[in-house]
Amino acid sequence: MENFDKTNLLRNISRRHFLAESAMGLGAFAFGSMLGGCGGKETQGFNLASDPMAPRPPHFAGKAKRVIFLHMAGAPSQLELFDYKPELKKLNNQLCPPSLLEGKRFAFIRGVPKMLGPQAEFRQRGQAGAYVSDHLPHFAQVADEVSFLKGVYTDQFNHAPAQLFVHTGTSRLGRPSIGSWVTYGLGAENNNLPGFVVLTSGGKTPDAGKSIWGSGFLPSVYQGVQCRSEGDPVLYLSDPHGMDRDLKRKTIDAINDINREHYNEINDPETLTRIAQYEMAFRMQISVPEVMNINNEPDYIHQLYGTTPGKSSFANNCLLARKLVEQGVRFVQLFDWGWDSHGTDENLAIDIGFRNKCREIDRPMSALLLDLKQRGLLEETLVVWAGEFGRTPMQENRENKNNPFLGRDHHVEAFTIWMAGGGIKRGMSWGETDEIGYYPITGKVSVHDVQATILNQLGLDHEKLTYHFQGRPFRLTDVAGKVINEIVA
């Protein structure tokens, strides 16, 4: 008991000293905490052997070195994008068969809804002949670069738990995100940049909040660093007026001297994380503004992506993702909010707002694939596009019978994602749903299977990438998951 009290006392003294006595005070604490996903190499006496972000070899030779994950938060309808169902068009406006409703849970469907035919026209694209809707004319030109997974399923039909499931392997809070697992397993390639960067667009944070790029029970050094495409790339990145680079260096040296003393006293591994955070923060003040600046990109690149410098947009974030992986960032996560097509208003209507969202992402996500390919980066960069679940083939049927807008409810049984680059087959479609897009009839794969495949492409065995916590080893895929070898080149 005496040792326990002494340890807590040392922690409290150190924290008070850090906040009250350090030259940067609360500002330094905010900066260090905000950069929780950063780590660095040996600097200013920091022991390289203790560096949690040092590069580590994979379990086996992987095809990919880095990942760009494009998440359409709100779950886009596969039936208006990639899963062509002419039979569903014939059933439009007919009452839904009871067999599709019995024993099923839906988020908002009440009573007996009507079937809803595709609100888009489809054509076969490229040499592989994949069906892609007219909502994505730019993507249609690069469809041969990707592998479609048509039979993905989940067990979560609400946004927040479903997003958590996609990114952490569980619907409960507290588990590490996939980007955190990747940086924990492989470390970082560039010691001047975070290993895991997050970019958001659409005006809001995803429903699950920042937990979907958190480190959970892994050391906080592995959590994602959220950057911005307008203003300072990272909050508090700029020094306050009157503090030059030399003074900043002396300040951080003094702070980390205290941190090292603190670590020697109580051997807390989070103290090593804090040291790495401050060192990385110092280096990021030089490296991040340069890599996050798209103003110096040539005009043809801006035309390719449809970017507008100084604006927060999905297009800008796609270009930034290319720049980040080009500089060795291990995992880049893009979230685009606004895909919840319930039909409750014009912006959420499957025939109006949904089409507008497609226009926002079509050119930039297609440009990202083209740009990576022309730079020789696509072979070693795995690009993943996904929502958190799918959409029903029937209309959403709420209490307002006079709603003039069309929408689809959440659907867990089947949705489509695609992958490209990083050792994934080109021009491939795996899995098929029934004639109305309700159930997978072949190639049914789980969210855990998708996660296992992403790790596999990086050379990580999802069953061996574990962390001991609360008396047992944990992994991203929990006790499930298998690699989808059918799409692996």
Question: Binning pLDDT at 50, 70 and 90, where does residue 230 land?
Answer: low
Q: What is the mean pLDDT of residues 120-132?
A: 97
Q: What is the mean pLDDT of residues 448-456?
A: 98
Question: Binning pLDDT at 50, 70 and 90, where does residue 248 land?
Answer: low
CA distance 115 to 94: 5
Q: What is the mean pLDDT of residues 478-489?
A: 97
| Spans of all domains in the chain | 56-244+299-487
At residue 459, does pLDDT exceed 70? yes
Q: Determine whether 458 is exposed, middle or buried from the number of CB atoms within 10 Å of its CB (0-12, 13-18, 19+).
A: buried
CA distance 418 to 441: 18
Q: What is the pLDDT of residue 69?
A: 98
pLDDT tens digits for range 83-117: 999 999 999 999 999 999 998 888 999 889 999 99
Q: What is the mean pLDDT of residues 219-246?
A: 69
Q: What is the pLDDT of residue 189?
A: 92
Question: Binning pLDDT at 50, 70 and 90, where does residue 280 land?
Answer: low
Cβ atoms of 118 and 84 closer than 8 Å: yes
Q: Which long-range contacts (CB under 8 A, 24 or more apart) does 277-280 make?
A: 277/32, 277/35, 277/36, 277/38, 277/39, 277/221, 278/28, 278/32, 278/252, 279/40, 279/43, 279/44, 279/46, 279/252, 280/35, 280/38, 280/39, 280/40, 280/191, 280/192, 280/194
Q: What is the pLDDT of residue 34?
A: 35
At residue 276, does pLDDT exceed 80? no
**For all residues of the chain together, what is the average pLDDT?**
86
Residue 129: how many other CB atoms lie within 10 Å = 12
CA distance 484 to 452: 8
Q: What is the mean pLDDT of residues 178-189?
A: 96
pLDDT tens digits for range 133-163: 999 999 999 999 999 999 999 999 999 999 9
Q: What is the pLDDT of residue 16?
A: 41
Q: What is the pLDDT of residue 64?
A: 98
Question: Binning pLDDT at 50, 70 and 90, where does residue 2 land?
Answer: very low
Q: What is the pLDDT of residue 239?
A: 60
Q: What is the mean pLDDT of residues 120-127?
A: 97
Predicted TM-score (pTM) of this structure: 0.83
At residue 436, does pLDDT exceed 80? yes
Q: What is the mean pLDDT of residues 206-215?
A: 96
Q: What is the pLDDT of residue 240?
A: 62
Q: What is the pLDDT of residue 191?
A: 85
CATH architecture assigned to 56-244+299-487? 3-Layer(aba) Sandwich (3.40)
Q: What is the pLDDT of residue 443?
A: 97
Report the range of poorest mean pLDDT among 110-119, 273-282, 372-381: 273-282
DSSP 235-277: TT-SPPTT--HHHHHHHHHHHHHHHHHHHHHH--HHHHHHHHH
Q: What is the pLDDT of residue 188?
A: 92
